[in-house]
Amino acid sequence: MTPPTAQDARIHNIGYRRYEGERLGAGYARLSLFVHSLRGGFGLGRSARSKVLPFGLFAIMCFPAVVMVAVAVMTGLDEMPIEYQGYGLAMQPILSLYIALAAPQMVSLDLRFRTIPLYFSRPMSPADYVRAKFAALSAAIFLFVAIPLTIAYAGGLLAELGFADQTSGYLRGLVAAAVLAVTHAGVALVVASRTPRRGFGVAAIIAVLTVPYFAVTAVQAIANEQGGSDAIGWLGLFSPTTLMDGLQSAFLGGTSGFPGEAGPSTGAGVGYLLVTVGLVALCHVLLVRRYRKAGL
């Protein structure tokens, strides 16, 4: 016997419609994630409070470029006081702080609020996620360094410091900034992807970026006193900052910040290139492995 209500049962048409628009696919999802992360790296699309630190650091980053231009115009120098290739390295503390701020913002929050499974329920693989984040952080760091360079370049042209000199220096500076951005982004993301807590991520990234630098510099200073200029070059391989410094002095014609301005020899220069490429590849592999499982 059927219950009395079953006779009144009927199916209403609630107007469900299939999605008939264009399916944009994984490529579009990657692009969206890239743009979203890049904007997030500068606090765009977030609260006003979270814009203060990125833009404050960016202003400090641009300040020496403006001063350089002013000095060049006023005193009639024939070249810039700071080389284009070494600009990012000269501002290393500010740059490290920015990276330490941006990297956990990009990946730690997804871990903390468990949004990772949501990303992977889209037509996106973990490798796509990693590449989008990697590209976004690299682009953010590149802009962070390249915009002050562009300011200095424009100022240098206005001060008539010589078009050919300035342009070749500027282009080499951009290459140095790009290499710096990719390596530092890799290291920072590997560290940040291990912790869901932002504060801890910030401290850990700063530690990874600066402690080896201080250690290498101290040991290099000792090697310099012992007269081992060969050792200075090889020691530089052991921290991201000195790695970049050696690379730009070996291949981009910059002056090294090593003690006694002793850049790496040609043999060591090849070593620098190999270590840099290896470091980026290693970071990528580690990141992809980290996100193989969608949970935590």
Partner 1 sequence: MYNPTVARLTYRALLGRRRALILGALPALLIVIAVAVRLLNGADDHAATEILGGFALASMVPLVGVIAGTGAIAPEIDDGSIVYLLSKPLDRRTIITTKLLVAIGVTLAFTTLPILLAGFILNGNSQVIAGAFAVAAAVASIAYSAVFLLLGTVSRNAVVFGLVYALVWEALFGSLVPGARALSIQQWSLAIAERIAGPGADITSEVSLPAALILLLVATGLGTWYAARRLGSLTLAGER
State in angstroms the smallest separation of the CB of 241 from partner 1: 12
Three-class DSSP category at 17: coil
Q: How many Cα atoms are found within 13 Å in the side-chain-facing hemisphere of 88?
A: 34
* Span interacting with partner 1, options 38-46, 94-102, 145-153, 266-274, rule CB under 8 A: 94-102
Nearer to partner 1, 138 or 210 (CB): 210
Binding mask 245-284 for partner 1 (x = CB under 8 A): ----------------------------------------
Residues across the chain: 296
Buried b (16+ CB within 10 A) or exposed e, 101-140: bbbbbbbbebbeeeebeebbeeebebebbbbbbbbbbbbb
By CB under 8 A, tell whether 76 contacts partner 1: no
Contacts of partner 1 in 9-48 (CB under 8 A): none
89 exposure class (CB count in 10 Å sphere: 0-12, 13-18, 19+): buried
Binding mask 194-233 for partner 1 (x = CB under 8 A): ---x-xx-xxx-xx--xx--xx-xxx-xx--xx-------
CA dihedral (131, 57, 48, 133) in degrees, to 10, reads: 0
Nearer to partner 1, 166 or 256 (CB): 256
CB count within 10 Å of CB 27 equals 11
State in angstroms the smallest separation of the CB of 251 from partner 1: 27
Among 94, 136, 141, 149, binds partner 1 (CB under 8 A): 94
Nearer to partner 1, 201 or 271 (CB): 201
Residues interacting with partner 1, by CB under 8 A?
53, 93-94, 96-97, 100-101, 197, 199-200, 202-204, 206-207, 210-211, 214-215, 217-219, 221-222, 225-226
